[in-house]
Every structure is written in C-alpha cells, then in structure tokens.
Structure 1
Amino acid sequence: MTLSAARPVRRSLTAETGTALPAFVDHHVHLHLIDASSLARRGIAAVVDLGGDAVALARRGDGIPRVTFAGAFLTVPGGYPQGRSWAPASTVCEVTDRSPHPGVPGGARTAVDAQADAGASVIKVALNADAGPVPDDETLFAIVAAARERGLPVVAHAQGDGQVERTLEAGVDVLAHAPSGEPLSRRLLSRAVAAGQAWISTLDIHRGAARGRAIADLRAFAARGGRVLYGTDLGNGDLPVGLNRRELLALHEAGVRGDRLVDALSDPWPASAPVGGLSTFIPGPAPDDSADLAAWLSRGTVVPTEELDRVD
C-alpha cells in the first residue's frame, strides 16, 4: 500500500527512522472535559472544540495542540445540551429571537456575533430533536445567514427525524456526528454530497445498533464522494486521549481507507491551510495491507517538521 503523503524520515534528535505524514486533527473535542496535555505525544497536533466557553478557549494561546473552536452551543430554551452536568452555562447560548440584526438580546445574529467576537472559527447549532426542542426553520436560517456574514462555517449536531434534511435546507456546512438514527435515503445522501457537506465521524461514541447505522450511513456517504473528517467527540465518555484506534478501525469499516483515511485525519477544517510547522511521525514504514493501517496510524506522535530529515 502506498500513501501519497508519506515520506521516509529520520528523527534528528533520536536517529529513529519512520514515516512522516501531515499533522493530524481531531475535528470534534470538548477541551473542558479532558486533560489535553498528552494529545501531542499521542498523535494529535490540532483540535476543533465543538462546544465550550468561547472566552476560556480564546485564552489558551498558541501551544500544542493548536485549537480552533465554535464557542457555545447555539440552542433554544430547554434545548440540548442544557441541564447536562458536562455542559456548564458558559458552554450554551440560548437563541430566543429570530432577529438577523446585531445587538438584539437573545437574537440569532447576537448569538453568532458573541462567538465570532470571542475568536470562534465555526458556529455550532444544536439540532438534537431527540433531547428537547430545537431551533425552528426561521431561527436556523437566521443563524446560518449571520455566520455567513461573519465568514464562518456552521456545524450542526443533527439528531432526530428530519434533522439531517433540515441542515441541507439551511445550508449547514458540516455535521458534528455521522448520523446514527434511521438509515438515510440515497437521495438525501446524494444531496449532502452535492452540497459539499462534510461529516465528522465520531463513530466510537456509539455501541450496538446505533454504531452499525452510523457506519452504514458514513459508508454510503463516503462511497458517493462525501468529505469525511476524523473526529472523536473527545470528552464524551471513556475515549482515549489522542489517536483513537477504535475510531480509525470504524472508519476503515466504513470504507474510508488508505489516502482517504489520512485525508480525514489531516484535513485542516475549519482552517484553510494545513497545520504549520508540525508533522506526524510513525515508526517504521506504512503497512502493505490497508487493513493494518488503522493500528499503524494510531502509533503516531507529533513532532516539529524541522526535526525530521528525509531518507532517500
């Protein structure tokens, strides 16, 4: 098996030989629920926080992992994730007015501006109809329009009947989770791909039938050319901090293999450029069999690119 982005290298500090790949990103984490200090040595160079205190996240600075964030979940009164022990008040922003005008208390535009002004790179809206009320169509459209005015993509937690379709109608850019409810129709899958929507995997948070449905829908989405992003929802339950071998194996099961798996890991979204100055180092060459790729990738660690010397 050949990975187009791989290059044979030697670490200048240790003389260890191996393979360099682009820096890896976990596209769905919650930093307030984890100790992020071990992420780099376990292969994650950058993270996208999809639900946290925007002000606190903005204060983290420019260390490793590199952090981009959505800030608070935008939801409606009584909506997900309000009332959860893991979601302090600072991580949730209620939208009580559909207003597209700035400065309106509780307005859709006001909620978006609050996250953007704090430094958010993406806006997250909660559309979890299985766990409470969700924004109506007018409010959802207003949130998306306000994000567009600020030049920000929108990611949605879409769960419950009809919610994935609503994201497409509103122009939501990314799903925070591969859908795990009822199987999606071929028409809806094709619409998602044609719209350029990306799906963050988070397959390992599921067990039983929900896991099977999520893998099946992601497989169908990927087979149609859909853009898949590696993400774990780190902080949600007992997940390993760093590269998650189970998530990688589930992606392989969903048909995201070889170069596509590396692409899902190294996609810079929501940034437009790859993580600069950092690479993933994995001891030894890439395996010959793609079935062994997930386990091999899970051994990655983050190193400064300047410490890697190419071996011809």
Structure 2
Amino acid sequence: MLHTDPFAVRELLGPDAAPGRRAITNEHGIVLPAFTDHHVHLHLIEEQDLAPHGVAAAVDLGGDPVALARRPRGGFPRISYAGAFLTAKGGYPVGRPWAPEAVWREVADASPHPGVPGGAATAVDEQAACGASVIKVALNSAAGPVFDAETLAVVVACARERGLPVVAHVEGEGMTRLALDAGVDALAHTPFSERLGIRVTSRAAATQVWVSTLDIHGDDPDAAENAALNLAAFREAGGRVVYGTDLGNGDRTAGIQSGELAALDRAGVRGPALIAALADPWPGTATTHAVATFVPGEPPETLDEIPGWLGAATVVPEEEIVRDEH
C-alpha cells in the first residue's frame, strides 16, 4: 500500500491515525478513533446501518425519553440522548408530522420546583430520570412561540444542578443571542437563519459547542451560505465544532455523510480538525475505546481527498486491529 508512513498519515489525519490491518481478514487500511454523529433522531432512521457505515456512537437530540431509557445497553452504536425537546407552549416541534407527541414537552411554567405540572424543573427532571446526557431546548421563533428569557434561564439552571449541559435548536432572528444570554452550552445546528456578527460569534466560540449539520440546507442556498460563513467564523474564533448530520431529516442512508464532511472541509474544518470533530466525545468525556474506525485501502494523499475517502469508513473491534507504528 502506498503512502503508509505513519508520520505522514498522522500529519494528514491527526495524532491518533495509523496504518494498520484487520487481523481476521488481513485487509490493510487506516485506523482512526471511533466516530460519533452528534445529532441524529433514532425514531426516523435505520439505526442498525450506523456502525457498518462508520458511526460508532450517536447522540439522539429529540426522541421519546421513555423509549430511549428502555433501550438495551451495550453494543454499537453507543447511544446518548437528550430525551424530549423542551419547548414553549405551542412551540416547535409541536404538531410537526415527523415529531410524535412523545418527543416533545411543552413547558408552560418557569417554576424551578420539581413536580409542578408543565414546570421547567419537572421537564428537566423527567429527561434526567430517563438517563439523558444533555437537555434539548427548542428556540425556533420562525415556527412558533419560544421561551422567554426567564423560563430559559430556569431550564438551564435546573439542568446545571443535575450536571447536564443544554443544547438548543436556534432558528430565527436573535435566537443565538437568546441562547448565549441564558448560558446554553451547545447549539444543535450551526446558526443558519441569520448571519452572526463578530461579537456574538466570539461569545459563542468562548462558551459553546456547535454541532455542524451544514449539509441539511441543500434546498435553501441562503441558509447554506449563512451556516457555512457562521461556522467558518466560529472556527476562526477558536470555537469547538463537532460533526453532526441531523440524520432523520431528509432521505439519507444512515452512516457517515460525505456531504457533511465536504461542507465542513469547505468551512475550514480540514484534516486533523475534521477527524477531531468526528471523534469528539461531546456531550460526555469518555471516548469509545472498544472499537476503532477503519478505512480500507490506501490513505488519501491530500486534504481535499479526505471527505470522500472517509465515506468508506466502518466500525471495527479494537481487538481485531493491528496498527503499524513503524
């Protein structure tokens, strides 16, 4: 196989990349850290297709918390989840055909006290009790009411008390600023409905994680341009970008999405930074050590080739991998 010098591979793909082979099949390729899709909706996709197509872990950002809590443990992909969308009365995604009632909770009371019907703390506690790793809030002023600042602040404070970060769907003018002012930790999508200014972008880069989801805007060139420019500015300001696709949105086969990778690459998340976005453990801290990503065949020779090359990735047990470290 050509270009298998480990130093050259690490320079192109990051410090954890290495030439290697699968011990059982003796197939040669490149070994990378396990990849995560940081934004999926399991009730809308074929989950069993994720691992064979390169996704070792996934973060469900809007599903039935009870069904998610009842999932069998172990196996791949590893799943973490937010549980239900927390939204204002009549807010997004209430009434959407893809969003059954089980996947959203309307918060009608800013009460920080547990057990209040429709209360902020009650909604957060339900998701936490169901094993959520992150709390999801909907701030979509383009599709209905959103939380006022007081209610959003209570949701964030309640989540913090329970050791959970908060991720927001922001859509509509001023929604990113609303999330920032409340201390929201992450955005489920790169902001796409407005072009952010330098001050807002710098604040976000200092305090937030952004899930990319750039490739969902294929039918909306204005949204696509806004998202690409916002992400490039966020990255330039030192922001933490993680790979996510919003799988379930649109007709796409589950697995690594080369279109998302290409969009990230065009926004300046290239080479080792692209691999880091894929391998980031958000919203947790532990990485997936039991498996690795394996891309068979020759490695890419240039940065431009990496997004397409990664489309052949699969998940392989670590015990089956033999790395060439020399």
Structure 2 counterpart of 1:10: 21
C-alpha contact 1:8 1:285 (8 A) present in aligned 2:
no
Residue 217 (str. 1) matches residue 227 (str. 2): no
TM-score, scaled to structure 1 = 0.98
Give the Å deviation of 1:293. Answer: 0.5
Structure 1 segments unaligned to the other structure (5+ residues) = none
Q: What one-letter code is carried by the residue in structure 2 that aligns with 1:33?
A: L
Structure 2 counterpart of 1:255: 268
Give the Å deviation of 1:285. Answer: 4.2
C-alpha contact 2:206 2:238 (8 A) present in aligned 1:
no
Instruction: Classify the secondary structure of the residue corresponding to 1:47.
Output: strand
Match of 1:21 among 27, 32, 41: 32
Q: Which moved more, 1:65-74 or 1:267-276?
A: 267-276
Structure 1 counterpart of 2:252: 239
Match of 2:171 among 156, 159, 169: 159
Q: 2:152 and 2:176 mapped to 1: Cα distance?
A: 13
Give the Å deviation of 1:288. Answer: 2.0
Residue 200 (str. 1) matches residue 200 (str. 2): no
Give the Å deviation of 1:299. Answer: 1.0
Q: How big is each residue's C-alpha offset from its partner over 1:107-139, in whole Å with a ceiling of 9 and x where there is no partner?
A: 100000000001000000000000000011110
Give the Å deviation of 1:55. Answer: 1.0
Q: 1:57 and 1:46 mapped to 2: Cα distance?
A: 15
Match of 2:151 among 122, 125, 139: 139
Q: How big is each residue's C-alpha offset from its partner over 1:147-180, in whole Å with a ceiling of 9 and x where there is no partner?
A: 0011000000011111101111111011000011
Q: How big is each residue's C-alpha offset from its partner over 1:21-69, in whole Å with a ceiling of 9 and x where there is no partner?
A: 1100000000001111111010000000000001111222222111000
Structure 1 counterpart of 2:79: 67
Q: 1:103 and 1:190 mapped to 2: Cα distance?
A: 38
Q: What one-letter code is carried by the residue in structure 2 that aligns with 1:66?
A: R
Structure 2 counterpart of 1:57: 68
Q: What one-letter code is carried by the residue in structure 2 that aligns with 1:159?
A: E
Match of 2:313 among 292, 300, 309: 300
Q: What one-letter code is carried by the residue in structure 2 that aligns with 1:103?
A: G
Structure 2 counterpart of 1:78: 90
Give the Å deviation of 1:283. Answer: 1.2
Q: 1:73 and 1:133 mapped to 2: Cα distance?
A: 14
Give the Å deviation of 1:276. Answer: 2.4
Instruction: Classify the secondary structure of the residue corresponding to 2:43.
Output: helix
Residue 182 (str. 1) matches residue 185 (str. 2): no
Instruction: Classify the secondary structure of the residue corresponding to 2:289.
Output: coil
**Deviant stretches of 4+, over 2 Å:** none
Q: How big is each residue's C-alpha offset from its partner over 1:59-108, in whole Å with a ceiling of 9 and x where there is no partner?
A: 22222111000000000111000001111111011101100111111110
TM-score, scaled to structure 2 = 0.94
Percentage identity across paired residues of the two chains: 59
C-alpha contact 1:2 1:286 (8 A) present in aligned 2:
no
Structure 1 counterpart of 2:243: 230
Q: 1:178 and 1:239 mapped to 2: Cα distance?
A: 19
Q: 1:233 and 1:194 mapped to 2: Cα distance?
A: 24
Query: RMSD of the TM alignment (CA)?
Result: 0.9
Structure 2 segments unaligned to the other structure (5+ residues) = 1-10
Q: What one-letter code is carried by the residue in structure 2 that aligns with 1:122?
A: V
Give the Å deviation of 1:284. Answer: 2.9
Q: 2:235 and 2:59 mapped to 1: Cα distance?
A: 21
Q: 1:281 and 1:47 mapped to 2: Cα distance?
A: 17
C-alpha contact 2:215 2:263 (8 A) present in aligned 1:
yes
Q: What one-letter code is carried by the residue in structure 2 that aligns with 1:306?
A: E
